[in-house]
Amino acid sequence: MVVWGGAFIAVKVAIRHISPYQFILARFIPSLILLIPIILWQYRNNLAFLNLWKTLSRAERWKLILAGFLVVPGYHISINYGATLIPAGWTGLVIASNPACIAILAALTLGEKIPLRRWIGIGVALAGLVFIIANQSVIGSGGDELTIGQKALGVVITFGGVISWGGFTVLSKKLVQNSAPLVLLLWVLAIGTAIALPGIDPQLPQKMIDAPQELWWAVLFVSAGSTVFGFTVWFRVLQLWQASRAGVFIYFGPMVALFGGWWLLDEPMGIATIIGAATVICGVVIATIPLKNKNKTA
């Protein structure tokens, strides 16, 4: 979540130089280039993963395609375009509503029972986020304070990422039970990138060559860190925990985005942000610390 929180800052840096849509491809094409040799090395004695598609039922194949769409173009179109209107820390705050979305979808589609304590924790954390949004002023890219309408538009666009991520997480929970995490990650990202590829700008390679170093650092961070490392860990977690419990940890990402945005991008960090952040952490603790008489994998 620390790495994923930093990704919101990297997005804000990258869209200074290339369009939000092109950054999707600038991120995931290198991610696949990095991921393929890692998987080939790990499974060098058993290349059966290459036939994963053939082992899936027709319904599972559609789930895999939908998961790829949701996590690559679906999620990142919302995040990248939302970042053009609101600060990186605010993008992280909107995405913090992911756990509630995941919990609801998991309950509806996976039959997971969500303990009351976890719902209370989610509610407390969301209350902290609402407090920050309501009380912290935000300066837009043009130097003026954002109006309520501008804030609302940025939030609505970014919220599309919340829905996409919730759907992706629930689909992944179903698929990862019978697949190695790295293998499933490769297939999901390859399918999602293929779906986004028709929109590539022919001038993107030249723009990357001419771009300053900060764009290259942003691409490297989100490709190697947020995508290859981050998603590998996420799939592993989904094998061990309920989707709803794993989702609560997403609250830590926005905290990293908030403090990182303040430190690196001079985004606002007032008393409202500090109080709200503390409330979010309290909600995370309530929702994630298992009770002594509960199974640790619950």
pLDDT 10s digit of each residue in the chain, 298 long? 888 889 999 999 999 899 999 999 999 999 999 888 888 887 777 766 667 777 778 888 898 899 999 999 999 999 999 988 888 887 887 777 776 677 777 777 767 677 788 788 878 877 887 787 777 777 766 667 777 677 778 888 998 988 898 888 878 777 766 666 677 888 889 999 999 999 999 989 888 888 899 999 999 999 999 888 887 787 777 677 766 666 667 667 777 888 888 888 888 777 887 888 788 778 777 776 655 544 444 4
74 residue type, one letter: G
Contact by Cβ (8 Å): 120, 287: yes
Tokens for 243?
Answer: 């989707």
The pLDDT of residue 244: 62
Cβ atoms within 10 Å of 90's Cβ, excluding its own: 29
Residues 252 and 250: their CA atoms lie apart, in Å, by 5
Can you read off the two tokens belonging to residue 207? 């723009």
Rounded to the nearest angstrom, the gap between the alpha carbon of residue 260 and the centroid of all alpha carbons in its chain is 16
Distance, CA of 133 to CA of 128 (rounded, Å): 9
The reported pTM is 0.77
pLDDT recorded at residue 292: 54
Looking at residue 297, its pLDDT comes to 41
Closest to 131 (Cα-Cα) out of 77, 82, 93, 85: 93
Greatest C-alpha distance within the chain: 59
Return the bridge partners of 145, or none.
139
- Beta-carbon-side half-sphere exposure of residue 293 (alpha carbons within 13 Å): 0
Two tokens at 39?
Answer: 């998987």
